[in-house]
């Protein structure tokens, strides 16, 4: 007879499963964590290489000459910006027209759900200005975008200046096969979202924008430039976009190739390249870089203006110039040459970048970890949930025989082995209703809160969210009053909860590995060990400490530590509050999915587990 259909063997297997369940779960958890830490170990990573044939091995001699003139333009732009207080639209239109581009403007406006205290804006109204350089001989089917943000204070002037300088230089060349769109967006991400929505004729976020009068073809790639100083010491590449989406790795490879060619210092996560990756300090730097990337990707917010292009399958990255205290400085002409080289290579593309990886982690600019290598780390954690589910299933299957022998009545096993659907659904429904309240109430009730408490709208929203979150902890004392199922019914609920969590986390990890992994790190132990029979107070404390809210708090502290800017407890708490408000704003403004996921699915799941802990 087969292994699984032979009852004796099956009983032996299930006994093995039940006996060894906890050790295997612990082992899997340690294996998952160790696998993740080992990803950054140099012999396990692969060197980056250019996969796209069209952007192949040949180099062009870049000849951009006008770095100084770009700086002069930047100063003019800064002066006009200060004079007009907002974006100097007329000056920009005139300058772009004098450089031979087709110039158009787009106005947009948006009222945020509650004021943004980080950027100090509530009613946003602005104008985007963009100029299109038409390809001299090609049909207008494809386009490339170079964008620079117009920041309200004195930053990013040099970026706009360099953009205009490059526009003038590019206009005099005849080898462009795609239209190049030079975009200056106001109010950084909000302006960019308005422009992209208008360009692609979609309206996802409910923003109010004027339609675009001029259009290029379908955008193949986009680069966003942030440059705030005349000379830079290093260029930082920012890849993480909305919902943790990353551009094709070929774009990062392209940037790195040109950094090496122009001899510019290039960084990722603002950490320098080094030559001794296999030493201990090298390994720790690689782990820090990778952890920073994981944290940034998990937050689901776009970390540069490029982040919103990714949703439209446009590969994009942000290049940020950093001026720190270093002896070797790079001037604007060299940065311009780097951009010229990148654009010439992108010009040679015949189809969208698709040859290299879309899912990867970068421990450094020259090394990468692809999805095939990092997914097993999450797989180990998901296996724990499945083992627990199997264990519960076995226990549920074994129960009727026990009670039958013990009680000897026909009616009871039926009742205890299959509690009614309603009684299982009750905690589930109530948890999800709490989650829905967490999602909708903070924004809706901000006016009410402002009337009754001396707080600003943002604080009201955030504090309401935390209040609802904490109120959920009191639920078990209410729910189990409605349940009339026997003591063993918690097993079914836990089975449902564990499987639900497994599905949730797996789906999250497929789209945004970092978010799935971080949530799994804290939620899987909770889901695995919680039963009504563990010591209540200790487990309650542990569960609260491993709840999604506290996970967010730890992530904030870890992020600050990794960026070498550690914060004190109070500052960390304020940062935590601002992170919550940013998360809600990102969801409302750009469609980031982290906040809905946490509020509507992860938090109810945790509440169900909390219910199980307090089962009576």
Partner 1 sequence: MANIIAVVCASYGLAQSVCDGEDLAERFFRSDHTNNWAVLVCTSRFWFNYRHVANTLSVYRSVKRLGIPDSHIVLMLADDMACNHRNPKPATVFSHKNMELNVYGDDVEVDYRGYEVTVENFLRVLTGRLPPSTPRSKRLLSDDHSNILIYLTGHGGNGFLKFQDSEEISNVELADAFEQMWQKRRYNELLFIIDTCQGASMYERFYSPNLMALASSQVGEDSLSHQPDLAIGVHLMDRYTFYLLEFLEDIHPASQANMNDLFKVCPKSQCVSTPGHRTDLFQRDPGSVLITDFFGSVRKVEITMETINLTVPGIPLERFGGEPHTETALAYVDQLPVAQIIHQKPKQKDWHPPDGFILGLWTLILLVFFRTYGIKHLKHIF
Q: How far apart are CA 170 and CA 340, in angstroms?
A: 8
Asked if 175 interacts with partner 1 (CB under 8 A), we say: yes
Question: Of 217 and 532, which CB lies nearer to partner 1 in the complex structure?
Answer: 217
Is residue 241 within 8 Å of 296, Cβ to Cβ?
Answer: no
Output the smallest distance, CB 220 to partner 1, in A. Answer: 14
Torsion of CA 281, 285, 290, 295, to 10 degrees: 120
Residue 22 to residue 24: CA distance in whole angstroms:
5
Q: Which stretch binds partner 1 (CB under 8 A): 173-181, 222-230, 330-338, 479-487?
A: 173-181
| Strand extents, DSSP E, 34-91 | 46-47
Q: Angle between the 67-84 and 89-98 helix axes, to the nearest 10 degrees?
A: 150
State the minimum distance, in angstroms, from the CB of residue 256 to partner 1.
Answer: 19
User: Least CB distance from residue 139 to partner 1, whole Å?
Assistant: 9
Interface with partner 1 by CB under 8 A: which range of 53-61, 88-96, 459-467, 494-502? 53-61
Residue 133 CB, shortest distance to partner 1, in Å, is: 14
Closest listed residue to residue 75, CA positions, set 255, 332, 306, 393:
332
Q: How many binding residues for partner 1 (CB under 8 A)?
A: 20
Give the residue carrying structure tokens 């990337």: 293
Is 135 an interacting residue with respect to partner 1 (CB under 8 A)? yes
Q: What's the CA dihedral at 390, 392, 397, 400 to 10 degrees?
A: 170
The smaller minimum CB distance to partner 1, of residues 257 and 273, is found at 257
Say whether 187 sits in a helix, a strand or coil: coil
Nearest to 558 by CA among 294, 332, 311: 294
263 binds partner 1 (CB under 8 A): no
519 and 502 Cβ atoms separated by less than 8 Å: no
Per-residue HEC secondary structure of 344-391 comes to HHHHCCCCCCCCCCCCEEEEECCEEEEHHHHHHHHHHHHHHHHHHHHH
Q: Which is nearer to partner 1, 175 or 453 (CB)?
A: 175
**Bridge partners of residue 146, in order along the sequence:** 182, 223
Window of 108-116, 312-320, 340-348, 414-422 that interacts with partner 1 by CB under 8 A: 340-348
H or E segment and range at residue 108 = strand 102-116
> What is the closest distance, in whole angstroms, from the C-beta atom of residue 175 to partner 1 in the complex?
4
Minimum Å gap between C-beta 166 and partner 1 is 17
- Residue 61 interacts with partner 1 (CB under 8 A)? yes
Is 348 a residue that touches partner 1 (CB under 8 A)? yes
Tell me the backbone φ, ψ of residue 62, rounded to 5 degrees: -80, 145
141 binds partner 1 (CB under 8 A): no
Candidate list 56, 65, 397, 406; residue touching partner 1; CB under 8 A: 56
Among 97, 173, 279, 284, binds partner 1 (CB under 8 A): 173
Buried-exposed string 186-225: b where 16+ CB fall within 10 A, e elsewhere:
bbbbbbbbbbbbbbbeeeeeebebeebeebbbebbbbbbb
Could you say whether residue 474 binds partner 1 (CB under 8 A)?
Answer: no
Closest approach, Cβ 247 to partner 1, in A, equals 22
Q: Which is nearer to partner 1, 69 or 344 (CB)?
A: 344
Rounded Cα distance between 464 and 458, Å, is 10
Measuring CA to CA, which residue among 375, 380, 348, 335 is closest to residue 226? 335
Nearby residues of 298 by Cβ (< 8 Å), 6 or more positions away: 244, 512, 514, 515, 517, 518, 555, 594
Q: By CB under 8 A, tell whether 172 contacts partner 1.
A: no
Nearer Cβ to partner 1, position 55 or 381? 55
Question: Shortest gap between Cβ of 102 and partner 1 (angstroms)?
Answer: 18
**Single residue of 176, 255, 439, 590 touching partner 1 by CB under 8 A:** 176
Which of 90/351 has CB closer to partner 1? 351
Asked if residue 177 binds partner 1 (CB under 8 A), the reply is yes
50 binds partner 1 (CB under 8 A): no
- Give the per-residue contact string, 297-336, with partner 1 (x = CB under 8 A; - = no): ----------------------------------------
Is residue 58 near partner 1 by the rule CB under 8 A?
Answer: yes
Per CB under 8 A, the list member of 174, 411, 569, 570 interacting with partner 1 is 174
- Applying CB under 8 A, the span of 158-166, 168-176, 240-248, 262-270 interacting with partner 1 comes to 168-176
φ, ψ of residue 228 to 5 degrees: the values are -120, 10
CB 311 within 8 A of CB 534: no
Candidate segments 56-64, 324-332, 478-486, 511-519, binder of partner 1 by CB under 8 A = 56-64
Which residue, 5 or 58, is less far from partner 1 as judged by CB? 58
Interface with partner 1, residue 54, by CB under 8 A: yes
Among 20, 27, 60, 471, binds partner 1 (CB under 8 A): 60
Binding flag, residue 260, partner 1 (CB under 8 A): no
Rule CB under 8 A: is residue 5 a binding residue for partner 1? no
Q: DSSP assignment, residue 412? A: H
Question: What minimum distance in Å lies between the beta carbon of 60 and partner 1?
Answer: 4
Which residues are within 8 A (CB) of 605 and not within 5 positions of it... i.e. 6 or more apart? 431, 497, 500, 501, 504, 523
Return the beta strands (E) in 234-356 as ranges.
234-238, 266-268, 315-322
Q: Give the binding site for partner 1 (CB under 8 A).
A: 53-54, 56, 58-61, 135-138, 173-177, 344, 347-348, 350
């Amino acid at each position: 007879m087969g292994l699984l259909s032979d009852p004796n063997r099956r009983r032996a297997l299930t006994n093995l499963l039940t006996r060894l369940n906890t050790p295997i779960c612990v082992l899997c958890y340690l294996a998952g964590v160790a696998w993740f830490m080992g990803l950054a170990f140099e012999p396990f990573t692969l060197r980056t290489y250019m996969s796209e044939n069209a952007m192949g091995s040949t180099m062009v001699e870049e000849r951009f000459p006008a770095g100084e003139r770009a700086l002069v333009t930047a100063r003019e732009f800064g002066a006009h910006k200060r004079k007009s207080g907002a974006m100097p639209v007329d000056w920009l239109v005139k300058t772009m027209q004098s450089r031979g581009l087709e110039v158009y403007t787009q106005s947009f406006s948006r009222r945020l759900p509650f004021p943004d205290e980080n950027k100090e804006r509530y009613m946003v109204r602005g104008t985007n200005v963009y100029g299109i350089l038409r390809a001299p001989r090609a049909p207008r089917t494809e386009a490339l975008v170079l964008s620079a943000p117009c920041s309200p204070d004195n930053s990013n002037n040099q970026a706009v200046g360099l953009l205009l300088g490059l526009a003038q230089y590019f206009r005099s060349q005849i080898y462009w096969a795609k239209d190049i769109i030079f975009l200056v967006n106001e109010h950084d991400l909000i302006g960019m979202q308005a422009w992209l929505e208008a360009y692609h004729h979609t309206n996802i976020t409910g923003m109010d924008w004027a339609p675009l009068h001029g259009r290029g073809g379908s955008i193949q790639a986009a680069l966003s430039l942030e440059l705030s100083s005349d000379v830079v010491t290093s260029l930082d590449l920012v890849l993480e976009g909305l919902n943790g989406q990353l551009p094709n790795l070929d774009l990062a490879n392209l940037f790195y190739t040109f950094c090496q060619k122009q001899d510019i210092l290039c960084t990722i996560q603002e950490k320098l390249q080094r030559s001794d990756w296999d030493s201990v300090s090298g390994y720790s730097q690689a782990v820090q870089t990778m952890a920073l990337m994981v944290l940034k990707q998990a937050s689901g917010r776009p970390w540069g203006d490029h982040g919103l292009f990714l949703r439209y399958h446009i590969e994009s990255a942000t290049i940020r110039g950093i001026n720190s205290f270093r002896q070797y400085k790079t001037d604007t002409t060299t940065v311009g040459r780097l951009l010229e080289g990148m654009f010439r290579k992108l010009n040679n593309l015949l189809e969208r970048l698709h040859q290299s990886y879309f899912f990867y982690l970068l421990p450094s600019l020259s090394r990468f970890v692809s999805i095939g290598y990092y997914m097993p780390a999450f797989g180990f954690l998901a296996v724990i949930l499945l083992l627990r589910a199997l264990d519960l299933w076995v226990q549920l299957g074994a129960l009727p025989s026990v009670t039958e022998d013990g009680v000897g009545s026909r009616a009871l096993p039926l009742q205890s082995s299959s509690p009614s659907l309603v009684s299982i659904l009750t905690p589930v429904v109530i948890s999800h209703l709490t989650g829905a309240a967490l999602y909708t109430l903070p924004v809706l009730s901000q006016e009410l809160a402002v009337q009754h408490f001396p707080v600003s709208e943002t604080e009201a929203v955030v504090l309401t969210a935390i209040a609802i979150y904490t109120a959920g902890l009191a639920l078990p004392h209410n729910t189990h009053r409605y349940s009339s199922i026997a003591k063993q019914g918690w097993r079914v609920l836990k089975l449902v909860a564990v499987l639900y969590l497994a599905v949730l986390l797996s789906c999250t990890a497929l789209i945004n590995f970092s978010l799935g992994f971080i949530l799994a790190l804290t939620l899987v132990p909770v889901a695995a060990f919680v039963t009504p029979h563990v010591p209540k107070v200790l487990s309650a404390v542990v569960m609260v400490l491993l709840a999604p809210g506290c996970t967010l708090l730890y992530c904030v502290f870890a992020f600050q530590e990794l960026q070498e800017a550690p914060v004190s407890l109070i500052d960390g708490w304020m940062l935590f509050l601002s992170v919550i408000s940013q998360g809600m704003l990102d969801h409302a403004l750009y469609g980031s999915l982290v906040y809905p996921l946490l509020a509507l699915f992860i938090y109810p799941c945790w509440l169900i587990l909390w219910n199980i802990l307090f089962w009576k």
